[in-house]
């Protein structure tokens, strides 16, 4: 089974409504539909609209960045989502005594409107703002500041806080990969890239795909990771969960020379 065969698997799993489920026989899921679109599959406008209603809408403008026909068809939806991202308000907490161990006054993005900001949805929003030419917006600058403020002592990022009750928390590879993709090159990003390079300690289809995407976003070598990812996808075949298949294809497409599905080319 080659890369084309894996793309056919993804296309063949598309539902009549134009979206994709996690597994055959299930209804369309927003996350899978957005990732499938990022991998180059042609989602229907109605499916993209449905996928945009929740947190997956934070990533959708970035996912469509490099696919001209889909981007043009969804132009009005993308404009709506960018406006929604810029107007979204997360919870802000005054921490005068410094008990939280991070700056809780920074506005960023959350999984649910009006709740505390988290690293991953903030990274999604930043990628989409950059895709829409809004990387210089004050909200984007504040979001990047939050990511830098939340970096863990081991160089990566976890879901939210770097410390709890004066205890350093360990980072998560997947969250670190999204944060690295959302940030321009810096010492902080270099430390994050070192964290994702430890992927063999927790190797999976998802971790390999995200590591490849994070390294590629900053022009770093991916070594044998694409071969390892392709082998996993080939072994799984039609039984592979479709969000993992789509994310894996996003990574392998980049290795094959396609534009990065989430990150504009960096200077």
Confidence bin at 267 (pLDDT 50/70/90): very low
Output the CA angle 256-77-125, nearest 5 degrees: 65
Confidence bin at 266 (pLDDT 50/70/90): low
Q: What is the DSSP letter of 245?
A: H
Give the 3-state secondary structure percentages of the chain, helix then strand then coil, rounded to 5: 55, 0, 45
Nearest-angstrom CA–CA distance, 95 and 241:
42
How many CA atoms lie within 13 Å of 59's alpha carbon, on the beta-carbon side? 27
Q: What is the DSSP letter of 110?
A: -
Would the pLDDT of 203 be above 60?
Answer: yes
Residues 145-173 have a mean pLDDT of 85
Full-model pTM? 0.93
Would the pLDDT of 262 be above 60?
Answer: yes
Helices (H), 90-186: 119-131, 138-149, 173-182
Domain ranges of the chain: 100-192
How many CA atoms lie within 13 Å of 119's alpha carbon, on the beta-carbon side? 26
Confidence bin at 164 (pLDDT 50/70/90): low
Confidence bin at 33 (pLDDT 50/70/90): very high
Would the pLDDT of 101 be above 80?
Answer: no
Higher-scoring residue by pLDDT: 103, 37: 37
Proportion of the chain above pLDDT 70, given as a percent = 91
Question: How confident is the model at residue 98, as a pLDDT?
Answer: 53
Question: How confident is the model at residue 90, as a pLDDT?
Answer: 76
Q: Which of 26-30, 161-165, 167-171 has the lowest mean pLDDT?
A: 161-165
Nearest-angstrom CA–CA distance, 176 and 171:
7
Residues 67-81 have a mean pLDDT of 92
Question: How confident is the model at residue 169, as a pLDDT?
Answer: 72
| Gyration radius from the chain CA atoms | 18
Residues 248-258 have a mean pLDDT of 97
* Mean pLDDT of all residues belonging to the chain: 91
| CB proximity list for 224: less than 8 A, separation 6 or greater | none
Residues 30-48 have a mean pLDDT of 97
- Burial tier of 203 (Cβ tally within 10 Å: 0-12, 13-18, 19+): middle
Question: CA 100 → CA 157, 159, 164, 213, distances in Å?
Answer: 16, 15, 7, 32
- Report the sign of the C-alpha dihedral through residues 245, 55, 195, 37, in that order: positive
């Amino acid at each position: 089974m080659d890369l084309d065969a894996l793309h056919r698997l993804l296309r063949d799993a598309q539902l009549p409504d134009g979206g994709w489920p996690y597994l055959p026989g299930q209804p369309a899921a927003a996350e899978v539909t957005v990732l499938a679109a990022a991998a180059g599959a042609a989602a229907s406008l109605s499916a993209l609209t449905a996928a945009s209603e929740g947190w997956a809408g934070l990533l959708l403008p970035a996912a469509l960045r490099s696919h001209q026909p889909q981007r043009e068809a969804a132009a009005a939806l993308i404009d709506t989502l960018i406006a929604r991202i810029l107007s979204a308000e997360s919870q802000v907490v005054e921490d005068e005594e410094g008990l939280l161990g991070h700056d809780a006054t920074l506005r960023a993005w959350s999984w649910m409107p009006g709740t505390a900001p988290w690293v991953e949805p903030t990274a999604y929003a930043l990628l989409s703002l950059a895709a829409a030419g809004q990387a210089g917006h004050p909200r984007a600058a504040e979001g990047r500041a939050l990511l830098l403020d939340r970096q863990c002592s081991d160089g990566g990022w976890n879901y939210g806080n770097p410390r709890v009750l004066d205890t350093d928390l360990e980072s998560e590879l997947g969250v670190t990969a999204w944060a690295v993709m959302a940030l321009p090159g810096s010492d902080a990003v270099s430390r994050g890239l070192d964290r994702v390079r430890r992927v063999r300690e927790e190797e999976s289809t998802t971790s390999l795909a995200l590591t490849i995407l994070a390294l590629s976003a900053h022009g770093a070598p991916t070594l044998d990771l694409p071969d390892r990812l392709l082998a996993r996808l080939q072994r799984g075949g039609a039984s592979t969960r479709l969000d993992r298949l789509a994310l894996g294809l996003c990574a392998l497409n980049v290795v094959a020379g396609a534009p990065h599905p989430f990150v504009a080319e960096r200077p």
